[in-house]
Chains A and B, each alone.
Chain A
Amino acid sequence: MSEPVLRLVGISKRFPGVLANDKVDFELAPAEIHALLGENGAGKTTLMNVVYGLYEQDEGQIFINGEEVEIHDPNDALGRGIGMVHQHFMLVPVMTVTENMMLGHETTRGPRLGPLSDLDEERVAAEIKALGDQHGLSINPEAYVQDLSVGEEQRVEIVKALYRGAEVLILDEPTAVLTPQEAEDLFAIMRSLIAEGKSIIFITHKLKEVLAIADRITVLRDGRVVGTTEPSVTNENELAAMMVGREVILQVEKGPADPGEAVLEVQDLQVRDIREQQVVRGVSFTVQAGEILGIAGVQGNGQAELVEALTGLTPVESGHIYLHGQETTYMKPRDITELGMAHVPEDRHKHGLVLSYPIDENLILQTYYLPPFSRRTFIQPKEVRENAEKLVREYDVRTPSIATRAGSLSGGNQQKVIVARELSREVHLLIANQPTRGLDVGSIEYIHNRIVEKRDEGVGVLLVSSELDEILSLADRIAVMYAGEILAVIPAREATKERLGLLMAGVREAPDSLAAD
């Protein structure tokens, strides 16, 4: 085997209280796609940020083409041919593609005035256009980044790395924002880059993708390398066990649904976002008591705004929402909550919790003004405490005390606090938006079981998730959302990943294949 283009030896990286990388060894061969597989928090991104110079390792060495190098900042990495496409794109929205390309190593013309020289935008625009065409990545240099689609932004990021002379390309969770079909296109681009001699590190937690595209696979768990293997000698179950450290139950145990009357009815709902763009375009569906309706879709297709409209957080433009037969379309969040709606929000730090508040105050966030927590406008500290002690026990929140600030809990325990608060009220409808994102496997299982339990008690559940596996294992019916519309609602037993994938990409089905709602 030829000299590896990149070799990491014994890399360790500590953060206060966490050992994010523990003596990690890693090799990347020339013209190889090497997948870095692991759960959320396994240390994949940290390791690559070390390679890219955003962090400095506490221990260990980095070799590039056999030569030991020190990488202190991204300039060092870029200078040695390492480029990275981050999970959250590093493009400035209010600038053009060309401006983003130039940023950090600008091409200028005319008199040399250092930082005050004249930018040569025309030349750079022509260069990146040519570079993109050469690799089958078409981009428009004059476009403003804020007007691009997610897929286009990703292409711009890849061209940006190539423009900076990257030989090693690190792609951090590149498929998280793509439909299965767009992911296929990306894989094709990756293969053609390999054919030209580039090397790629592909960070992911999706087993199927790894098996489909990688030449080699290194699995990380808790900051350590569990092992390196190849797709030809392994399979999904083995990789999953390596990732998690035990056999994973891939299926949630649940009996058949027993749907009752309609709890939530949505008719022709339209919503605009803050930029006045129409993001929900005429959505209609029904959630019945005792069933889980899953909303699948690539993130950013209007799901967030749909949930905000249903919960009263965002004004509705037109259409109707009925909760238990009562119209709630223009109601305030509090009135909707009082009608028996529970909401596990997408962003638990922004909406779900007041991080600087202790657990007990977080547990009365919507009920503080009602007895027993307050009487004649006075808060009753004893009742607040007792409520917290009860819920912490019931929902297995691991915390030193109920006076602990929510901000110092782990993600899983924070989510349990939210679930405890939402489900401890009398609810008819539970809206859960990305309820398990970023959580460890144990917390995911716990929350999935609680959701199914509520369904079996006769609560209607609306589950929004961009994880197809979560939708497939929990939902009784599945609605697919694309560009602000619901393209189809299909029973879970008729849903396959392929069928959902096509819908998520916006491919409408012929009318006769549409299953009854």
Chain B
Amino acid sequence: MATAETTRTSRRKAILSRLAVPVLAIFTALVVASLAMVLSGTNPIKAYLALGEGAFGSQVAIVETLIKATPFLLAGLGIALAFRGGLFNIGVEGQLFVGSAVTVIIGYSVELPAVLHISLALLGGMLGGAIWSAIPGYLKARNGAHEVITTIMLNFIALRVINWAIGVDGPMRAPRTVVPETPAVFESARLPILIPDSRLHAGVIIAIVAAFVVYWLMWRTVTGFELRTVGANPSAAHYAGINVKFNIVRTMALSGALAGLGGGIQVLGLEPYNFTTGFNVGLGFDSIAVAVLGSIHPVGVALAALLFGAMDAGARLMQLRTKVPIDVVTIVQGLILAFVAADQIIRRLYRIRAEAVEGPINISQMYGGGG
């Protein structure tokens, strides 16, 4: 039997080798994207320097990075949690919308004491996200409808319904505005600012706490054991007496709740404290890359969210200085996902030995309507 000492060294080695692939994937993605920049006539080094400065160059930049990282962290945690349960929640985008919408309704329609109001609004957002996510969970558990397509369809539905609600004569439309937007939430529902005269709101702390809670839930509770067992081997879970169908719905709901919380925090934490069209579009999809880059582990997801937040925060300065469109960031993010998912590309490129760290992600089971 291994001694505690050797266990610790081997664990350190394992952590290092886990980090190798994501770090090299980021590096490779940046290199590949720089080719696109060269093609469009920009010096990529200048662009990346501007990106870095925009993300970490000043207190304002760092605050911006943190508040951009917050929704990535929450949505990424939601996706990671679903992955652990064997589900691909690609509907985080729609769940974010629903979460924001419910939170904003609670925020602008009643006035309550601050702590109560914030809690109620965020809980409402979580519930909204959870329900929106539990629907595909239920359809999968009951009829085997693969969640990848149903959640995407629910994204479109959420988007269109909310656009109607804030559109002309919509029930959520703010009075006397030209742009489609809701009224701002009451003061009492707004998240407190942590550093005076900055945009750093308490949502950052909520997100970090959520990461701890997810870690603890997954590896230290009965719920987490069931969630992971169903994800790793549904047949064995059934054999072990775990209610697989209930777990699918529960996992989707938990995942959607995290996304809904992320959406709610965006509404309560940032100016102008309301919901408008084009709000956070694409965030849910980018969070897939955050979850996969973070090895679907809460600590990894937190680091990945920070990186994505930094890229988003720095992109504006990059565009300003070098005329590189912000979309280059999307390409980098997509490439990172590609390289992390296809880790053998990276392993071969940099000659890293493969080792069985985790079972491979397998979410292609039960594709289509039937068994």
Q: B48 contacts the other chain (Cβ, under 8 Å)?
A: no
- Is the interface on chain A under 10, 10 to 19, 20 to 34, or 35 or more residues? 35 or more
- Of A71-79, A95-103, A188-196, A343-351, the segment with at least 4 beta carbons within 8 Å of chain B is A343-351
Instruction: Check B235–A350 contact: CB distance below 8 A.
Output: yes
Residue contact B236 to A350, C-beta cutoff 8 Å: yes
Contacts of A333 in B (CB 8 A): 238-241
Cα distance A356–B359 in the bound complex, in angstroms: 5
Interface centre among B1, B222, B237 (most CB of A within 10 A): B222
For A335, the chain B residues whose CB sits under 8 A away are 241
Number of interface residues of B (CB under 8 A): 26
Indicate if the CB atoms of A356 and B236 lie closer than 8 Å: no
Does B223 sit within 8 A of A, measured CB to CB? yes
Cα distance A103–B40 in the bound complex, in angstroms: 51
By a CB distance below 8 angstroms, the chain A residues around B223 are 377
Residue B232, interface by CB 8 Å: yes
A366 x B221 contact (CB < 8 A): no
From 196 to 233 in chain A, residues with beta carbon under 8 angstroms from any chain B beta carbon are none
Among candidates B220, B229, B235, residue contacting A378 with C-beta atoms closer than 8 Å: B220
Which of chain A's residues have a CB closer than 8 A to the CB of B235? Answer: 350-351
B239 nearest CB neighbor, chain A only: A351
Q: If the complex has contacts A355-B359, A356-B358, A374-B222, are A334 and B236 also in contact, measured as CB distance less than 8 A?
A: no
A357 adjacent to B222 (CB under 8 Å): no
Contacts of B2 in A (CB 8 A): 400-401
Q: Is there contact, CB below 8 Å, between B358 and A379? A: no
B195 on the A face (CB < 8 A): no
CB < 8 Å: which of B7, B222, B240, B356 contacts A365? B240
Which residues on A sit within 8 Å (CB–CB) of B7?
401, 403
Contact A379 B371 (CB under 8 A): no
A351–B236 touching, CB < 8 Å = yes
Contact B359 A407 (CB under 8 A): yes
Q: Is B221's CB under 8 angstroms from A332's CB?
A: no
Question: Could you tell me which B residues sit within 8 Å of A by CB distance?
Answer: 1-2, 7, 219-225, 229, 232-233, 235-243, 356, 358-359, 371
Tell whether A54 is near chain B: CB-to-CB under 8 Å. no
Is residue A354 contacting chain B, with contact meaning CB distance below 8 A? yes
User: Is A337 an interface position by the 8 A CB rule?
Assistant: yes
Q: For chains A and B in complex, what number of residue pairs have CB atoms within 8 angstroms?
A: 80
Indicate if A352 sits at the interface (CB-CB under 8 A): yes
Q: Name the CB-closest residue of B to A333.
A: B241
Give the distance to chain A from B340, nearest Cβ to Cβ, in Å: 18
- Flag if B236 contacts A377 (CB, 8 Å): no
Task: Given A351-B236, A353-B236, check contact A378 B241 (CB 8 Å).
Answer: no
For A355, list chain B residues within 8 Å (CB). 232-233, 359
Q: Is the CB of B239 within 8 A of A313?
A: yes
Do B236 and A352 have beta carbons less than 8 Å apart?
yes
Residues of A within 8 A of B (CB): 274, 311, 313, 332-335, 337, 343, 345, 350-357, 361, 365-366, 368-369, 374, 377-379, 381, 389, 400-403, 405, 407-408
Interface contact B222-A377, CB-CB below 8 Å: yes
- A400's closest neighbor in chain B, by CB? B2
Which residues on B sit within 8 Å (CB–CB) of A313? 238-239
Q: Is the CB of B236 within 8 A of A354?
A: yes
> Which of B225, B232, B359 is most buried by chain A, counting CB atoms within 10 A of its CB?
B225
Instruction: Tell whether, in the assembled complex, residue B220 and residue A352 are in contact, meaning their CB atoms are under 8 Å apart.
Output: no
Given contacts A377-B223, A379-B219, A407-B359, contact A357 B240 (CB under 8 A): no
Smallest CB gap from A348: residue in B: B236
Chain A residues positioned under 8 Å from B242 (CB to CB): 334
* Distance to closest chain A CB from B342 (angstroms): 20
Q: Which residues of A contact B233 (CB under 8 A)?
A: 350, 353-356
B238 touches A365 (CB 8 A): no
Query: What chain B residues lie within 8 Å of A400 (beta carbons)?
Result: 1-2
- Taking A313-B239, A365-B240, A377-B223 as given, write out 4 further A-B residue pairs in contact, using a Cβ cutoff of 8 Å, ordered by the A residue number: A343-B239, A352-B239, A354-B237, A368-B225
Q: Is the CB of B1 within 8 A of A379?
A: no
Given contacts A378-B220, A379-B220, A379-B225, contact A354 B232 (CB under 8 A): yes
A374 contacts across to B, CB distance below 8 A: 221-222
* Residues of chain A lying within 8 A (CB to CB) of residue B221: 374, 377-379
Whether B241 lies near A405 (C-beta < 8 A) is no
Give the distance to chain B from A480, nearest Cβ to Cβ, in Å: 27
A311: nearest residue on chain B (CB-CB)? B239
**B241: contacting residue among A354, A366, A401, A408, CB under 8 A:** A366
B236 and chain A: residue at smallest CB distance:
A354
**B240-A274 in contact (CB<8A):** no
Looking across the interface, which residue of chain B has its beta carbon closest to that of A367? B240
The minimal Cβ–Cβ distance linking B232 to chain A, given in whole angstroms, is 5
Query: Which B residues touch A389, using CB under 8 A?
Result: 1
**Distance of A381 Cα from B359 Cα, bound (Å):** 21
